[in-house]
Structure 1
Amino acid sequence: MGRASFHAAAVKPRRHGKEARENRHVRPATEIAVPSMHEEDLMRIVAEKDAPFLLVLDCVQDPHNLGAILRTADGAGVDAVVAPKDKQVGITETVRRVSVGAADHVPFVQVTNLARTMERLKEAGLWFVGTSDRAEKSLYELDLKGPLALVLGAEEKGMRRLTEENCDFLASLPMAGKVECLNVSVSAGVCLYEAVRQRHAG
C-alpha cells in the first residue's frame, strides 16, 4: 500500500497493636507515569521504516488493558504505540508489570493532538484502519500490508468522532455470540496478529 498512496512503601497505620489491612482494590497514590516519547521521535521511527507498523490507542484508560496491549504489540513487532496525552493512561508500574517488560521496549508516544498527528502520519504514507461496530467490512476483508496504523478506541465508548473520521478504513470484528464487543486488549491482539499474518504471507 502506498499513499499518494508507573509504592513507595506506604506507611500502614497500626490499629490495636496490629497492622491495618491494606485495601487491595485501591491503586497506590504514589503510582506515577514515566515520560513517554514525543511526536518527533515518532516521525523519526516512521522515516526509518520501509513499511511502518503502528498501533494507535484513542483514550484507553485502564492500566491493565494498556499493559496487555503493549505485551501483544511487542510480540507482533509493532514499531510504536501512539496515544493522546489527555484521557489516556501512561506507562505506570502497573502497566509495566502487566506488560511483562514490553513497556520498556515498545516505543510509547503520547501526543497533544491525535488527529493532527494522524494527518502527519498520512502525509508520511501510512494508512489508518480503525475498529468500529459501524464498519461495513470485516477486518479480514482489508489489506493490512504496507505502511499501516491500526486504531482502537477507549473502553466502552470506542473511538472519538474525529479519530474515526481520520481513519481511511473502518473494520469490524465478527461477533457470533450474545456479547456486542471484545475487551480492547483482546481486540488489539486480534487485529495485530491478523496484520502480522498478512504481512508475513509474502
Structure 2
Amino acid sequence: MKQRKFGERSHGDKGRQARENRHVKPIEEKSTPSLDEHDLMRIIADTEVPFLLVLDCVQDPHNLGAILRTADGAGVHAVIAPKDKAVGITETVRRISVGAADYVPFVQVTNLARTMEQLKEAGVWFVGTSDRAEKTLYDLDLKGPLALVLGAEEKGMRRLTEENCDFLAKLPMAGQVECLNVSVAAGICLFEAVRQRNAGI
C-alpha cells in the first residue's frame, strides 16, 4: 500500500490541510553514530584537562537525553557508556537533549573497565557516586583530569566499575528517599565540578 507523504491530503481530509507551526523548528532526520575507544583516546590527547562523564548502563533514553543536555552545558569533553545493556543515541534521546546529542561526543565502548584503566594511564582520575561512600561529593577535589561515574537506574554501578574508581562520593540526602534520579544526580555532580574548576578552589 502506498504511504502518504507528510502534509499530503487524503480523501478523508475533506480539504483540510495542517498548518505549519512557525515556532517549531523542523527536525532533521540524521543518525549520530557513536564514537569508539580510539576516538576517545584522540579526544584525551587533544584536551589539556579532560572532563569526562561515565554512565554505567543507563537504559532510559529520557535520562540519557537529559544528561547529554546537562553535559553540554557543563562543558564535558565526552560522555562514555558501554555498548551492551545501555541506551545509545535514539531519536528520543536527541529530542530530550534538545540538540545536545549532536554536539557532545558520545563514546560507546566494548569493555568499560578496560577503558577506565586506559584513561587512568592517561592521567584521568575517577570519582564514582555510591550510597555506600563515606565522603560526600562536596568533600572531594574535582579539579584536574576528571571522570565522574554514575550507575544505572535502580542498580547503580556494577562491581568492576566501582572497583576502578579512585574515589567514591555520595550526595547528602536529607529526606526519606534513598537516592536521586540519575539525570538529576548527574546535573548536581557535573556542576559541582564546574564550580570548583572555575573557582580554582
TM-score range, shorter chain: 0.7 to 0.9
TM-score normalised per structure 2 = 0.84
Residue matched to 2:8:
none
CA distance in 2, matches of 1:188, 1:70: 10
Q: What residue number does 2:38 align with?
A: 40
Amino acid at match of 1:100: V
Contact 2:150–2:157, Cα closer than 8 Å, also in 1: yes
Which of 43-52 and 124-133 deviates more?
A: 43-52
**Percent identical:** 84
1:187 to 174, 185, 188: 185
- Residues 141-156 of structure 1 aligned to structure 2 (within 5 Å): 141-156=139-154
Query: Residue 35 of structure 1: CA displacement?
Result: 2.2
1:49-90 alpha-carbon deviations (Å, 9 max, x no partner): 111000000000000000000000000000000000000000
- Structure whose CA Rg is larger: 2
Taking the aligned partners of 2:52 and 2:59, their CA distance within structure 1 comes to 19
Give the RMSD, CA atoms, in angstroms: 2.1
Task: Give the one of 51, 64, 68 matched to 2:66.
Answer: 68
In the alignment, is residue 178 of structure 1 matched against residue 179 of structure 2?
A: no
SS at match of 2:72: helix
| Cα displacement string for residues 63-121 of structure 1 (whole angstroms, at most 9, x for unaligned residues) | 00000000000000000000000000000000000000000000000000000000000
Residues 7-66 of structure 1: CA deviation (Å, up to 9, x unaligned):
x99xxxxxxx9xxxxxxxxxxxxxxx7420011100010111111000000000000000
Gap runs ≥5 in structure 2: 5-11, 13-30
Task: Letter of the 1:128 partner, please give it.
Answer: F
- Is the Cα contact below 8 Å between 1:95 and 1:103 reproduced in 2? yes
TM-score w.r.t. length of structure 1: 0.84
Moved segments of 4+, more than 3 Å:
none
Tell me which of 77, 80, 92 is aligned to 1:79: 77
Distance 2:36 2:137 in 1: 30
Contact 1:38–1:110 (CA<8 Å) still a contact in 2?
A: yes
Q: Matched residue of 1:137: which SS? A: coil
